[in-house]
Structure 1
Amino acid sequence: MVEIVKTYKQSIPALRFIGIKYGDQDRVNGSYAAKWGEWFESDRFNKLQSLLTNNFKDDYEDANTNIGLMRWKEGEPFEYWIGMFLPEDAVAPEGFGYIDFQASNLGVCWVKGSIPEVYRNELECANKLSEEGHEIIKDEQEAWWFFERYGCPRFTRPDENGNVILDICHFVN
Protein backbone atom coordinates (compact mmCIF):
# COMPACT_ATOMS: atom_id res chain seq x y z
CA MET A 1 0.00 0.00 0.00
CA VAL A 2 1.24 3.49 -0.90
CA GLU A 3 0.95 6.31 1.60
CA ILE A 4 1.92 9.99 1.58
CA VAL A 5 3.74 10.16 4.91
CA LYS A 6 4.99 13.76 4.85
CA THR A 7 4.36 17.00 2.96
CA TYR A 8 6.21 20.29 3.19
CA LYS A 9 7.18 23.42 1.29
CA GLN A 10 10.82 23.77 0.28
CA SER A 11 12.54 26.87 -1.11
CA ILE A 12 15.10 26.25 -3.81
CA PRO A 13 17.70 28.57 -5.35
CA ALA A 14 17.95 29.34 -9.05
CA LEU A 15 19.32 26.18 -10.61
CA ARG A 16 19.98 24.36 -13.83
CA PHE A 17 18.60 20.91 -14.52
CA ILE A 18 21.01 18.95 -16.72
CA GLY A 19 19.93 15.67 -18.23
CA ILE A 20 18.55 13.88 -21.26
CA LYS A 21 14.98 14.25 -22.52
CA TYR A 22 12.79 11.27 -23.36
CA GLY A 23 9.24 10.93 -24.64
CA ASP A 24 6.46 8.39 -24.71
CA GLN A 25 8.23 6.56 -27.55
CA ASP A 26 11.07 5.75 -25.12
CA ARG A 27 8.88 3.85 -22.67
CA VAL A 28 9.25 0.09 -22.38
CA ASN A 29 6.13 -1.58 -20.97
CA GLY A 30 4.91 1.89 -19.94
CA SER A 31 8.04 2.72 -17.96
CA TYR A 32 11.34 4.58 -18.29
CA ALA A 33 13.14 1.95 -16.17
CA ALA A 34 15.25 0.83 -19.15
CA LYS A 35 16.49 4.41 -19.62
CA TRP A 36 17.39 4.60 -15.93
CA GLY A 37 19.32 1.35 -16.39
CA GLU A 38 21.25 2.91 -19.28
CA TRP A 39 22.14 5.88 -17.05
CA PHE A 40 23.59 3.68 -14.32
CA GLU A 41 25.39 1.38 -16.77
CA SER A 42 27.08 4.32 -18.51
CA ASP A 43 27.92 6.31 -15.34
CA ARG A 44 26.08 9.39 -16.60
CA PHE A 45 25.28 10.49 -13.04
CA ASN A 46 28.99 10.58 -12.19
CA LYS A 47 29.51 13.12 -14.98
CA LEU A 48 26.82 15.32 -13.44
CA GLN A 49 27.91 14.86 -9.83
CA SER A 50 31.30 16.29 -10.78
CA LEU A 51 29.49 19.58 -11.51
CA LEU A 52 28.17 19.97 -7.95
CA THR A 53 29.75 22.71 -5.86
CA ASN A 54 29.92 23.08 -2.09
CA ASN A 55 28.03 26.39 -2.29
CA PHE A 56 25.21 24.74 -4.23
CA LYS A 57 25.05 21.87 -1.73
CA ASP A 58 24.79 24.46 1.05
CA ASP A 59 21.97 26.30 -0.78
CA TYR A 60 19.99 23.21 -1.79
CA GLU A 61 19.97 20.39 0.75
CA ASP A 62 18.80 17.78 -1.77
CA ALA A 63 21.48 18.66 -4.33
CA ASN A 64 23.03 15.22 -4.63
CA THR A 65 19.90 13.39 -5.82
CA ASN A 66 18.89 11.81 -9.10
CA ILE A 67 15.82 13.38 -10.68
CA GLY A 68 13.07 12.19 -13.02
CA LEU A 69 11.76 15.57 -14.27
CA MET A 70 8.45 15.71 -16.12
CA ARG A 71 6.71 18.35 -18.24
CA TRP A 72 3.06 18.06 -19.19
CA LYS A 73 0.88 20.40 -21.21
CA GLU A 74 -2.42 19.53 -22.89
CA GLY A 75 -1.90 18.99 -26.62
CA GLU A 76 1.91 18.74 -26.46
CA PRO A 77 4.20 15.71 -26.21
CA PHE A 78 4.95 14.55 -22.66
CA GLU A 79 8.58 15.07 -21.63
CA TYR A 80 10.47 12.89 -19.17
CA TRP A 81 14.01 13.97 -18.33
CA ILE A 82 16.58 12.02 -16.34
CA GLY A 83 19.33 14.02 -14.69
CA MET A 84 20.18 16.27 -11.75
CA PHE A 85 19.67 19.79 -10.46
CA LEU A 86 22.97 21.66 -10.52
CA PRO A 87 24.29 25.20 -10.01
CA GLU A 88 22.69 27.72 -12.37
CA ASP A 89 25.99 28.29 -14.22
CA ALA A 90 26.88 24.60 -14.68
CA VAL A 91 27.86 23.68 -18.24
CA ALA A 92 26.02 20.69 -19.68
CA PRO A 93 28.38 17.96 -20.89
CA GLU A 94 28.20 16.97 -24.55
CA GLY A 95 25.07 14.96 -25.28
CA PHE A 96 23.08 16.47 -22.39
CA GLY A 97 20.43 19.17 -22.47
CA TYR A 98 19.44 21.61 -19.77
CA ILE A 99 16.56 23.65 -18.39
CA ASP A 100 16.96 26.70 -16.15
CA PHE A 101 14.64 27.26 -13.19
CA GLN A 102 14.44 30.47 -11.21
CA ALA A 103 14.47 30.48 -7.41
CA SER A 104 11.11 29.11 -6.36
CA ASN A 105 9.21 26.86 -3.99
CA LEU A 106 8.46 23.18 -4.13
CA GLY A 107 5.58 21.31 -2.62
CA VAL A 108 7.18 18.04 -1.54
CA CYS A 109 5.39 14.76 -0.81
CA TRP A 110 7.14 11.73 0.64
CA VAL A 111 5.45 8.70 -0.91
CA LYS A 112 6.10 5.51 1.05
CA GLY A 113 5.55 2.06 -0.39
CA SER A 114 7.11 -0.71 -2.40
CA ILE A 115 8.62 -0.41 -5.83
CA PRO A 116 6.87 0.01 -8.30
CA GLU A 117 3.82 1.24 -6.33
CA VAL A 118 5.57 4.49 -5.29
CA TYR A 119 5.73 5.59 -8.94
CA ARG A 120 2.98 7.45 -10.83
CA ASN A 121 1.50 9.19 -7.79
CA GLU A 122 2.01 12.72 -9.10
CA LEU A 123 -1.71 13.51 -9.30
CA GLU A 124 -2.36 12.20 -5.77
CA CYS A 125 0.49 14.37 -4.50
CA ALA A 126 -0.81 17.42 -6.38
CA ASN A 127 -4.24 16.88 -4.83
CA LYS A 128 -2.75 16.49 -1.34
CA LEU A 129 -0.69 19.66 -1.71
CA SER A 130 -3.76 21.56 -2.98
CA GLU A 131 -5.81 20.30 -0.02
CA GLU A 132 -3.12 21.72 2.27
CA GLY A 133 -3.38 25.15 0.62
CA HIS A 134 -0.48 25.06 -1.81
CA GLU A 135 -1.13 26.46 -5.27
CA ILE A 136 0.58 24.37 -7.93
CA ILE A 137 1.89 26.69 -10.63
CA LYS A 138 2.51 26.45 -14.36
CA ASP A 139 5.44 27.90 -16.29
CA GLU A 140 5.26 30.81 -18.76
CA GLN A 141 4.04 28.45 -21.52
CA GLU A 142 1.24 27.13 -19.25
CA ALA A 143 2.98 23.75 -18.76
CA TRP A 144 3.20 21.80 -15.51
CA TRP A 145 6.64 20.73 -14.26
CA PHE A 146 7.00 18.11 -11.52
CA PHE A 147 9.55 15.49 -10.60
CA GLU A 148 10.58 12.36 -8.75
CA ARG A 149 13.51 12.91 -6.40
CA TYR A 150 15.43 9.83 -5.33
CA GLY A 151 16.80 10.88 -1.94
CA CYS A 152 19.39 8.89 -0.05
CA PRO A 153 18.84 6.98 2.16
CA ARG A 154 15.02 7.35 1.97
CA PHE A 155 14.83 5.74 -1.44
CA THR A 156 18.00 3.67 -1.51
CA ARG A 157 17.56 1.76 1.77
CA PRO A 158 14.24 -0.08 2.07
CA ASP A 159 12.79 -0.46 5.56
CA GLU A 160 12.15 -3.81 7.26
CA ASN A 161 8.98 -4.23 5.15
CA GLY A 162 10.74 -3.48 1.86
CA ASN A 163 9.25 0.02 1.58
CA VAL A 164 11.08 3.07 0.27
CA ILE A 165 10.24 6.76 0.24
CA LEU A 166 10.13 8.57 -3.11
CA ASP A 167 9.89 12.37 -3.09
CA ILE A 168 7.36 13.71 -5.58
CA CYS A 169 7.68 17.47 -6.00
CA HIS A 170 5.55 20.13 -7.68
CA PHE A 171 6.37 23.80 -8.15
CA VAL A 172 4.11 25.88 -5.87
CA ASN A 173 3.56 29.50 -4.83
Structure 2
Amino acid sequence: MNQVIKVYKQQVPAMKFVGKKYVGDDVYSHWGEWFANGWFDKVEDAMGGVDNILNIWKDGGGYVGLEFRKEGELLEYWIGMFATTDTVVPEGFECVQFEAGNIGVCWNYGGEDEVHDVGNNWKYILKDGMEFKLDERGYVAQFENGLCPRFTTPDENGNVILDYCFYVK
Protein backbone atom coordinates (compact mmCIF):
# COMPACT_ATOMS: atom_id res chain seq x y z
CA MET A 1 0.00 0.00 0.00
CA ASN A 2 1.28 3.47 -0.95
CA GLN A 3 1.46 6.02 1.86
CA VAL A 4 2.76 9.57 2.00
CA ILE A 5 5.42 9.59 4.72
CA LYS A 6 6.94 13.06 4.35
CA VAL A 7 5.83 16.45 2.96
CA TYR A 8 8.06 19.50 2.69
CA LYS A 9 8.91 22.59 0.63
CA GLN A 10 12.24 22.76 -1.18
CA GLN A 11 13.94 25.60 -3.05
CA VAL A 12 15.11 24.72 -6.56
CA PRO A 13 17.35 26.64 -8.95
CA ALA A 14 16.46 27.75 -12.45
CA MET A 15 16.55 24.59 -14.55
CA LYS A 16 15.84 23.30 -18.01
CA PHE A 17 13.73 20.18 -18.39
CA VAL A 18 14.98 18.19 -21.39
CA GLY A 19 12.76 15.46 -22.78
CA LYS A 20 9.92 14.57 -25.06
CA LYS A 21 6.30 15.71 -24.84
CA TYR A 22 3.36 13.31 -25.15
CA VAL A 23 -0.35 14.05 -25.45
CA GLY A 24 -3.32 11.78 -25.84
CA ASP A 25 -4.70 8.77 -24.05
CA ASP A 26 -1.63 6.56 -23.66
CA VAL A 27 1.05 9.01 -22.51
CA TYR A 28 2.46 6.81 -19.72
CA SER A 29 3.30 3.94 -22.08
CA HIS A 30 6.46 5.59 -23.47
CA TRP A 31 8.82 4.82 -20.59
CA GLY A 32 9.99 1.55 -22.13
CA GLU A 33 11.16 3.26 -25.31
CA TRP A 34 13.22 5.69 -23.23
CA PHE A 35 15.21 2.84 -21.74
CA ALA A 36 15.31 0.80 -24.98
CA ASN A 37 16.60 3.77 -27.01
CA GLY A 38 19.06 5.07 -24.40
CA TRP A 39 17.38 8.47 -24.37
CA PHE A 40 18.17 9.13 -20.69
CA ASP A 41 21.85 8.53 -21.56
CA LYS A 42 21.60 11.13 -24.33
CA VAL A 43 20.16 13.71 -21.93
CA GLU A 44 22.82 12.89 -19.31
CA ASP A 45 25.56 13.24 -21.95
CA ALA A 46 24.13 16.59 -23.10
CA MET A 47 24.30 17.96 -19.56
CA GLY A 48 27.88 16.72 -19.14
CA GLY A 49 26.85 14.06 -16.63
CA VAL A 50 24.30 14.12 -13.82
CA ASP A 51 26.87 15.62 -11.44
CA ASN A 52 26.23 18.99 -13.15
CA ILE A 53 22.60 19.05 -11.98
CA LEU A 54 23.46 17.47 -8.62
CA ASN A 55 25.88 20.34 -7.98
CA ILE A 56 23.01 22.86 -8.12
CA TRP A 57 20.09 20.73 -6.85
CA LYS A 58 20.67 17.88 -4.40
CA ASP A 59 17.57 15.99 -5.61
CA GLY A 60 18.41 16.35 -9.30
CA GLY A 61 19.49 13.51 -11.54
CA GLY A 62 16.26 11.54 -11.36
CA TYR A 63 14.29 10.22 -14.31
CA VAL A 64 11.22 12.42 -14.41
CA GLY A 65 7.61 12.15 -15.54
CA LEU A 66 6.54 15.82 -15.81
CA GLU A 67 2.86 16.68 -15.98
CA PHE A 68 1.11 19.93 -16.74
CA ARG A 69 -2.41 19.99 -15.34
CA LYS A 70 -5.23 22.50 -15.20
CA GLU A 71 -7.99 21.93 -12.68
CA GLY A 72 -6.75 18.35 -12.34
CA GLU A 73 -6.94 17.54 -16.05
CA LEU A 74 -3.74 16.25 -17.65
CA LEU A 75 -2.87 18.48 -20.60
CA GLU A 76 0.78 17.54 -21.31
CA TYR A 77 3.03 14.71 -20.20
CA TRP A 78 6.80 14.79 -20.61
CA ILE A 79 9.48 12.19 -19.95
CA GLY A 80 13.04 13.35 -19.40
CA MET A 81 15.35 14.95 -16.87
CA PHE A 82 16.02 18.29 -15.27
CA ALA A 83 19.31 19.79 -16.45
CA THR A 84 21.29 22.96 -15.97
CA THR A 85 20.03 25.99 -17.88
CA ASP A 86 23.04 25.94 -20.21
CA THR A 87 22.47 22.36 -21.36
CA VAL A 88 22.24 22.11 -25.15
CA VAL A 89 19.08 20.23 -26.10
CA PRO A 90 19.98 17.13 -28.15
CA GLU A 91 18.41 16.69 -31.58
CA GLY A 92 14.97 15.09 -31.32
CA PHE A 93 14.31 16.44 -27.83
CA GLU A 94 12.51 19.53 -26.54
CA CYS A 95 12.83 21.58 -23.37
CA VAL A 96 10.86 23.56 -20.83
CA GLN A 97 12.55 26.37 -18.88
CA PHE A 98 11.82 26.72 -15.17
CA GLU A 99 12.72 29.76 -13.08
CA ALA A 100 14.20 29.36 -9.63
CA GLY A 101 11.44 28.76 -7.12
CA ASN A 102 9.90 26.26 -4.76
CA ILE A 103 8.52 22.78 -5.03
CA GLY A 104 6.28 20.95 -2.62
CA VAL A 105 7.49 17.37 -2.22
CA CYS A 106 5.58 14.27 -1.11
CA TRP A 107 7.44 11.04 -0.39
CA ASN A 108 5.28 8.12 -1.53
CA TYR A 109 6.33 4.92 0.24
CA GLY A 110 5.33 1.44 -0.89
CA GLY A 111 5.96 -1.22 -3.47
CA GLU A 112 7.36 -0.01 -6.80
CA ASP A 113 4.07 -0.88 -8.48
CA GLU A 114 2.13 1.11 -5.84
CA VAL A 115 4.03 4.38 -5.38
CA HIS A 116 2.90 5.80 -8.71
CA ASP A 117 -0.62 6.19 -7.27
CA VAL A 118 -0.10 9.88 -6.52
CA GLY A 119 -3.62 11.14 -7.24
CA ASN A 120 -4.18 12.53 -3.74
CA ASN A 121 -0.75 14.08 -3.22
CA TRP A 122 -2.11 17.55 -3.97
CA LYS A 123 -4.18 17.34 -0.76
CA TYR A 124 -1.02 16.88 1.31
CA ILE A 125 0.55 19.95 -0.30
CA LEU A 126 -2.48 22.10 0.51
CA LYS A 127 -2.75 20.64 4.03
CA ASP A 128 0.89 21.63 4.62
CA GLY A 129 -0.04 25.25 3.79
CA MET A 130 1.51 25.44 0.33
CA GLU A 131 -0.16 27.06 -2.67
CA PHE A 132 0.27 25.83 -6.24
CA LYS A 133 2.14 28.08 -8.66
CA LEU A 134 0.45 28.45 -12.04
CA ASP A 135 2.43 29.04 -15.22
CA GLU A 136 1.49 31.66 -17.82
CA ARG A 137 -1.09 29.23 -19.28
CA GLY A 138 -2.71 28.62 -15.88
CA TYR A 139 -1.19 25.12 -15.63
CA VAL A 140 0.36 23.48 -12.57
CA ALA A 141 3.71 21.75 -13.22
CA GLN A 142 4.05 18.56 -11.19
CA PHE A 143 6.35 15.58 -11.53
CA GLU A 144 7.49 12.17 -10.40
CA ASN A 145 11.16 12.29 -9.50
CA GLY A 146 12.64 8.78 -9.37
CA LEU A 147 15.80 9.32 -7.32
CA CYS A 148 18.70 7.04 -6.56
CA PRO A 149 18.81 5.28 -4.12
CA ARG A 150 15.44 5.85 -2.43
CA PHE A 151 13.47 4.90 -5.57
CA THR A 152 15.90 2.46 -7.14
CA THR A 153 16.91 0.40 -4.08
CA PRO A 154 14.08 -1.26 -2.11
CA ASP A 155 14.36 -1.29 1.68
CA GLU A 156 14.23 -4.41 3.88
CA ASN A 157 10.45 -4.58 3.32
CA GLY A 158 10.79 -4.37 -0.48
CA ASN A 159 9.47 -0.80 -0.55
CA VAL A 160 10.78 2.31 -2.28
CA ILE A 161 10.16 6.04 -2.03
CA LEU A 162 9.00 8.03 -5.05
CA ASP A 163 9.17 11.81 -4.77
CA TYR A 164 6.11 13.51 -6.23
CA CYS A 165 6.59 17.25 -6.59
CA PHE A 166 4.52 20.34 -7.42
CA TYR A 167 5.78 23.81 -8.24
CA VAL A 168 4.44 25.99 -5.44
CA LYS A 169 4.59 29.66 -4.42
**TM-score of the two chains, using structure 2 as the length reference:** 0.91
How much does 1:73 deviate? Answer: 2.3
Of all paired residues, the percent bearing the same amino acid is: 44
Separation in structure 1 between the aligned mates of residue 106 and residue 148 of structure 2, nearest angstrom: 15
Paired residue for 1:93?
A: 90
Cα gap change, 1:108/1:52 in structure 2, threshold over 3 Å: closer, same or farther? same
CA distance in 2, matches of 1:10, 1:52: 23
User: Match of 2:11, SS?
Assistant: strand
Corresponding position of 1:133 = 129
- Secondary structure of 2:131's counterpart equals coil
Q: Does 1:36 align with 2:36?
A: no
Q: Is the 8 A contact 2:67 2:74 kept in 1?
A: no
Q: 1:108 corresponds to which residue?
A: 105
Distance 1:46 1:25 in 2: 27
Superposed CA deviations along residues 11-70 of structure 1, whole A, max 9, x for unmatched, are 11111000001123334xxxx2x4111111111111111233555422111221110000
1:161 is the counterpart of 2:157: yes
1:1-173 equivalences in 2 (<5 Å): 1-27=1-27, 32=28, 34-52=29-47, 54=51, 56-73=53-70, 78-121=75-118, 123-173=119-169
Question: Do the aligned partners of residues 52 and 143 (structure 1) sit closer, same or farther apart at CA in structure 2, a change above 3 Å counting?
Answer: same
- Give the count of matched residue pairs: 167
Measure, in 2, the Cα distance between the counterparts of 1:117 and 1:63: 23
- Any gaps of 5 or more consecutive residues in structure 2? none
Please provide the CA RMSD for this pair. 1.8
Give TM-score scaled by structure 1 length: 0.89
Extract unaligned runs of 5+ from structure 1: none
